[in-house]
Amino acid sequence: MSNPACPICSMEDVLARDDRYECSTCGHEWEREQSEEALEAEGARTVKDAVGNVLADGDTVTLIKDLKLRGSSDVLKQGTKVKNIRLVDGDHEIDCKIDGTPMALKAMFVRKA
């Protein structure tokens, strides 16, 4: 019997522990006995952009203000389009790539395109 896919990131590289599963990609842990309804409820989070639109994985968003990059003198300009976002848990809700560089953005600085 194979391990189930992670309910958070949907990746298949899940480690089986004594009484739980652990995703080696995102680090999410869940109980083996947990029902499907509980997994769906735990994975169901809503992330909203600056104007209240609900964001989903794969959406395209636009920056609503200039953002300084930490540790650099570069700036991400207002109006920059970001394609194929991925929603994650944490302080910065969006993982994406801008010009090939991985970035983490806060949803309050983007608008759904």
Q: Is 37 helix (H, G, I), strand (E, B) or coil?
A: helix
Are 61 and 108 within one domain? yes
Are 25 and 80 within one domain? no
- 62-to-20, 42, 46, 71, 113 alpha-carbon distances in Å: 39, 28, 18, 23, 6
Residue with the bigger pLDDT between 67 and 34: it is 67
Structural domain for 77, as ranges = 47-112
User: Which tens digits make up the pLDDT trace of 50-103?
Assistant: 999 999 999 999 999 999 998 889 999 999 999 999 999 888 999 999 999 999
Alpha carbon distance 45, 34 (integer Å): 18
Number of domains in the chain: 2
Are 20 and 75 within one domain? no
Residue with the bigger pLDDT between 98 and 34: it is 98
